Structure 1
Amino acid sequence: MVETRILPLFPLQAVLVPGAALGLRVFEPRYLDMVGECGRNDGGFGVCLIAEGGEVGAPAVPAEFGTEALIEDFGTDDDGLLTLRVRGARRFRVASTAVRGNGLVEAEVEWLRDDPARARLRPQHALLGTLLERIFDQVGRPPGVDPDFDDAAWVGWRLLELLPMPEERRAGLLAVDDPHARLDGLLALIG
């Protein structure tokens, strides 16, 4: 049986992947309400790539797949706007959507299965582990990151987070359940 939940959505022109950090500026009343609700319920919200529409104004149509965002920190910027730092958690598929009276899109989501624990990189993906090590050598390792360059899921998520690519392609790879198939997709991208 598939576990479902109603989750408020924050559609963006970007994809959030599991384990990745994302900074957000929040100013629309619907999203301020959503953040307050998340605080009261000690929960998160969903981040989906926008399939149709824009980030501001009328409710956007979200892509089919997204990631739960958990709030790690908040504050205000120089303009007095609410800022959030969120981290990607579980992936989901949008089963259906509805728009609340305040314009907030909420979705019935089906949680996707987690990656297998510690799936080792296959020989054909070793280049990707090396590529990620070199990226970290160049740009530095993000704070709090404990690298595991032999874990297929970890390497795939970090490369999906860091490599430049069209967001639609990133969203497509977010939907892939098998970490080795995800790595195959990344190899095709850089190949």
Structure 2
Amino acid sequence: MAGPSNLVELPLFPLSSVLYPGGQLQLRIFEPRYLDLVRECTRNDCGFGVCLILEGHEVGAPAVPAAVGTLARITDFHHGADGLLGISAEGSRRFRVSRTRVRADGQLRGDVEWLPEELAQLVPVEFALLQTILERLIETMAPQWKDAPREAYEDASWLGFRLAELLPLAGDEQQRMLELVDPLHRLAELRDILPRFQKA
């Protein structure tokens, strides 16, 4: 539902990690407010907003979310051995939260505006090392990307978002990578962070 100033209402799902455009998300759902959220998204063929938690926890009282998040669209359902509902979702567009409110059932809702899509940019040669590092990370940590086409590694946005989700960044660093709007700037920051992980 759209409101004034092109704001859109979204159910929000605060998490302790960041979801990036094109990223994969696996969730186990057990709280009634989130079961309702999944039902609503399925019924209306819509997504929900994933935001990094700034204060609070994933369960219990509503958490305080970061202002920039990513739309998640449910792609699959399953039931685990523990009987809980599991969902798979994929990250889509980024948004900025204008205001939030908590429903009586504890579900967090946000009025959001969409951030512009990043323009496709080829990865400059000075970032070739990042492509090699991502290939190695995918081999050991992210089998879901092992069949990614070569062209994906040439896309500055895809390369930056995949590195941001696989490198052991702190929460505030993950959030910064989401909020940056220039994919080449994101790659430059990731390159500058790398030496920290190579000392071990």
TM-score (norm 1): 0.93
Structure 1 position 161 matched with structure 2 position 161: no
Give the corresponding residue for 2:40: 37
Report the 3-state secondary structure (helix = DSSP H, G, I; strand = E; otherwise coil) of the residue aligned with 1:38.
Answer: helix
User: Quick check: which one's helix share is greater?
Assistant: 2
Give the corresponding residue for 1:96: 99
- AA in 2 matched with 1:39: T
Give the corresponding residue for 1:23: 26
Shift of 1:4: 2.5
Contact 2:99 2:110 in 1 (8 A): yes
Residues 108-163 of structure 1: per-residue CA shift (max 9 Å, x gap): 1111111112x011232222112112323445642563342111111111111211
1:77 and 1:157 mapped to 2: Cα distance?
29
RMSD: 1.7
Residues 1-40 of structure 1: per-residue CA shift (max 9 Å, x gap): 9742111011011111111111100011100001000011
Give the corresponding residue for 1:126: 128
Identical aligned pairs, as a percentage?
A: 48
2:192 and 2:5 mapped to 1: Cα distance?
31
- AA in 2 matched with 1:146: P
- AA in 1 matched with 2:114: W
Count of matched residue positions in the alignment of Structure 1 and Structure 2: 190
- AA in 2 matched with 1:127: L
Give the corresponding residue for 2:198: none
Give the corresponding residue for 1:135: 137
Shift of 1:184: 1.4
Give the corresponding residue for 2:58: 55
Contact 1:16 1:67 in 2 (8 A): yes
Which structure 1 residue ranges, 4+ long, deviate > 6 Å from structure 2?
Answer: none
In the alignment, structure 1 segments of 5+ residues that lack a partner are: none
2:64 and 2:39 mapped to 1: Cα distance?
23
